[in-house]
Structure 1
Amino acid sequence: MDKLFLSAIKEETVGLDYFYHIGVGKINATYHTLRLINIHKPKIIINYGTAGAINTELKGIVECTKLYQRDMDVRGLDFRLGETPFDDIKEIIISENGYSCGTGDSFVNKMIDMKVDVVDMEAYAIAKVCKLEKIEFRCFKYISDNANENANADWNENLAAGANAFSELISSSSFKSH
């Protein structure tokens, strides 16, 4: 299989039967991504999911090409926010053309310290696995909410709209399903 489509949960991909669901959060994403790589040996992994917009100008689907670990916080030991101590990979920059995504194991509904365009819970983990395994990675996020006090209600309300928007994007691109 050349292409592997990954999403956290089936609710994000209603009607998109070519997705594998890897669970919520960085640990689930890492484990299941590695497991699927070992089974399918893909050349490219395409991640789609929902995201909260820190940059509230964003709407619809965006491609994230700069990925950060927003909840790695060892500033007390003089590391930068998002920097894993003693790890050579500080961030994952696929291209400067695209948006930045801060991944963390929390649902964001208030201001965060990291300056990123969107927030999610899996993309950085998948991107890091792909970087280490030398697999091409693409990441698309549907803006489901504005990462504020209304985020929970907005996220639930926009799940189906996101799946429809991704389906339209895929049908008009070169990423046809496997």
Structure 2
Amino acid sequence: MKKDLALMMALPNESKGLFEQENIQVHYSGIGKINAAFKTYEVIQKTGCKTLFNLGSAGSSVFDAHALIEVTRFVQRDMDVSPLGFEIGVTPMDEHFPAAIDLEPYFPHLQQGICGTGDSFETGKPKIDCNLVDMEGYAIAKVCKKLDVRLISVKYITDGANDTAHLDWEENLLLGARKLLSLYQDI
């Protein structure tokens, strides 16, 4: 499977150099949906991958810190056109793609989650139904869906998406990188 696979993470902070030490190529998108969409398209075009493997960090008030969660659905927590009568998470006039993008599970031993993506560092309860939050996943999923590339996404829960999230995120990244590397090496 690895020959047709490209690996993407948002930031080098999330890999802590561990993947590079093992000679594993990581494509870094940068933070946010625009950067993620652009990099996803670029990686698919340059590598010709059939599967994009997205690893990274996420916050959650539902899952325990330090857990690995496989994302099986992405939603947009910051797409809010409700004053015009649209449900939160729905992109108006985008009939070809539903508000939620479902992914086929790959890891039977991991818990599964719904990830709410938005261009903000979430420290409260999102307005949309989700149990973990990130800043890139929905954009990656949408580009993969449009280009017919399989997406597998696993998030390491670094924080509780609360008032101390920014401190917990940085403190927990090294342990997360170790767990994500171990998972990657087992595929």
TM-score range, shorter chain: over 0.9
User: Is residue 4 from structure 1 mapped to residue 18 from structure 2 by the alignment?
Assistant: no
Residue correspondences, number = 173
The aligned counterpart of 2:120 is 106
Higher mean alpha-carbon deviation, 135-144 vs 85-94, is at 85-94
User: Is residue 16 from structure 1 mapped to residue 19 from structure 2 by the alignment?
Assistant: yes
Q: CA deviation at 1:70?
A: 0.7
User: Is residue 84 from structure 1 mapped to residue 91 from structure 2 by the alignment?
Assistant: yes
Q: Give the letter for the 1:50 counterpart.
A: S
- Structure 2 matches for 1:1-178, cutoff 5 A? 2-14=4-16, 15-17=18-20, 18-57=25-64, 59-88=66-95, 89=97, 90-95=99-104, 98-172=112-186, 174=187
Q: CA deviation at 1:59?
A: 4.2
Higher mean alpha-carbon deviation, 41-50 vs 59-68, is at 59-68
TM-score (ref. length: structure 1)? 0.92
Unaligned runs of 5+ in 1: none
CA contact (8 A) 1:55 1:116 kept: no
CA contact (8 A) 1:144 1:155 kept: yes
CA contact (8 A) 1:51 1:119 kept: yes
| 1:98 aligned counterpart, secondary structure | strand
Pair 1:145–1:49, CA change in 2 (3 A): same
TM-score (ref. length: structure 2)? 0.88
C-alpha offsets along residues 118-167 of structure 1, whole Å, 9 cap, x if unaligned? 00000110000000000000000000000000100000101111100111
Identity across matched positions, percent: 38
Q: CA deviation at 1:57?
A: 4.3
Distance in 1 between residues matched to 2:65 and 2:122, nearest whole Å: 16
| Aligned-CA RMSD value | 1.5
Q: Give the letter for the 2:19 counterpart.
A: L
Unaligned runs of 5+ in 2: 106-110
| 1:163 aligned counterpart, secondary structure | helix
Q: CA deviation at 1:111?
A: 2.2
C-alpha offsets along residues 49-107 of structure 1, whole Å, 9 cap, x if unaligned? 10000314464111001100110001111111100001121210124882100000000
